[in-house]
Structure 1
Amino acid sequence: MTGRRVADPAADCPDPVARTLVAAAFAAIESRYVLDRHQIAAAVLDADGTVHLGLHLDAMVGRAAVCAEAGALSAARLVTGAELIAVAAVRYPKPTEEAVARVVPPCGLCRELLVDHAPRLRGVVHDGTGLTLTPLAGLLPHKYVGTKWAPAPARP
């Protein structure tokens, strides 16, 4: 913890699922923030109502870094096969920045990874007017489709 007061961005979430995930991600990064090491935490909700957390792991070599969303996905898959419902990530401000934590959308790599493992997953994003839950597949209009896995069956 940094010792300075940073507002929880969950207060701006009208949707209760989004609010729960943003609050969980904020609490995780607020308690684990380390400059240039851990700046983002993510929370993934499964169909059983469990929230799984992940922490951004920075690295000297940028490609070796691990995004918080990937960590949360891994944490979820370690303990459940339940469908994953929603994800949120919160970036904690650096000491030189205004003391405002903010919700950040998954990067392109995480969008691909999350949609591979949870095709119907929704993410908390800022839509220009406020925080909302939106299908991640919609943020990834040209999803890579390889031949590694059989296509997932369509769900009603």
Structure 2
Amino acid sequence: MEPLETERRVIDAAEALARSLGDNDNHTVAAAVMDVDGRIHQAVNVYHFNGGPCAELVALGVAAAAGAKQLLTIAAAGDRGRGLIPPCGRCRQVLLDHHPDILIAVPSESGPVVRPVLKLLPDTYFYPDARGRRIFRFNKRYHDAVLSGEKTTTIRWDEPVTAGPATFVFEDHPESAHVEGEIISVEQTRLQDLDAEHVRGLKSHYPLMPEDAVLSRVSFRVQAAR
């Protein structure tokens, strides 16, 4: 996915911090992470031969120390002009267990893209005691309709959704709006069973979606704003 404006802010913050690191071999990678309130937390790695923490893991600790409970997007960048770099396997597993819906910025041939952490760990192990609260994203244009109860269903493709409590986040909202909610049910439907207007909208949002796509019809409700 192409980064949204808020996600580019995270990437820019990581790259700017990386450029400031100089030639200290103990600190060679910078990371930045955004929480649901729109705050960006930054950190650097601490290299040590016994396995010093990566910048991404230090950033999780910095965010937690600042009171952040849910994180939306993370990016890491290397020193000495290396630019955006993907997380190592250990960081991917920690991110998945603690923040199962976080988006990770990674480099591609066409520039930075963001991917759900689960896409970076197919067939992964799930830590059974992990208690990361789920995040469910909406386009910011649906903010009023979701909060008023006018919109209570949505259709998603290739997005893992499970019933239960979740924080509803409105992407790129100028006030970083989010509310507590609940996914009531997730039912399967098919693209070919939808009307033409729905199909056009979904194809615009999911350009890689095949004609025989199986979709998730998600029912939800808002619990309380915060």
1:14-42, Cα deviation, whole Å (9 max, x unpaired):
63223211221122222233332111100
1:87-116, Cα deviation, whole Å (9 max, x unpaired):
0001012xxxxxx33100111100011111
Alignment partner, residue 10 of structure 1: none
Q: Could you list the runs of 5+ residues in structure 1 that have no partner in the other structure?
A: 1-12, 94-99
Q: Number of residues paired by the alignment?
A: 136
User: Is structure 2 residue 126 aligned with structure 1 residue 139?
Assistant: no
Q: Give the helix-richer structure, 1 or 2.
A: 1
- 2:127 & 2:35 partners in 1: Cα distance? 26
CA RMSD of aligned residues (A): 2.2
CA offset at residue 56 of structure 1?
A: 1.0
Query: SS at 1:32's partner residue?
Result: coil
Alignment partner, residue 19 of structure 1: 8
The more displaced of 112-121 and 141-150 is 141-150
1:11-70, Cα deviation, whole Å (9 max, x unpaired):
xx86322321122112222223333211110000000000011101111x1x42210000
Q: Which amino acid aligns with 2:61?
A: S
Alignment partner, residue 31 of structure 1: 20
Alignment partner, residue 73 of structure 1: 60
Distance 1:152 1:29, change over 3 A: closer
The more displaced of 40-49 and 30-39 is 30-39
Which of the residues 40, 44, 50 maps onto 2:39?
50
Q: Give the strand-richer structure, 1 or 2.
A: 2
Q: Which amino acid aligns with 1:83?
A: Q
1:111-149, Cα deviation, whole Å (9 max, x unpaired):
011111110000111233221111011101122224344
The more displaced of 44-53 and 127-136 is 127-136
Alignment partner, residue 74 of structure 2: 87
- 1:58 & 1:151 partners in 2: Cα distance? 27
CA offset at residue 77 of structure 1?
A: 1.1
- 1:102 & 1:41 partners in 2: Cα distance? 10
- 2:132 & 2:3 partners in 1: Cα distance? 35
- Identical counterparts, % of pairs: 31
Distance 1:152 1:87, change over 3 A: closer
Choose between structure 1 and 2 for higher RCO, CA contacts under 8 A separated by at least 6 residues.
1
Query: SS at 2:20's partner residue?
Result: helix
Q: Could you list the runs of 5+ residues in structure 2 that have no partner in the other structure?
A: 135-161, 167-182, 184-226
Per the normalisation by structure 1, the TM-score is: 0.76
Q: Is residue 36–residue 58 contact of structure 1 (8 Å, CA) maintained in 2?
A: yes
Q: Which amino acid aligns with 1:55?
A: V
Query: SS at 1:64's partner residue?
Result: coil
Which of the residues 58, 61, 64 maps onto 2:51?
64
Q: Which amino acid aligns with 2:117?
A: L
Q: Which amino acid aligns with 1:134?
A: R
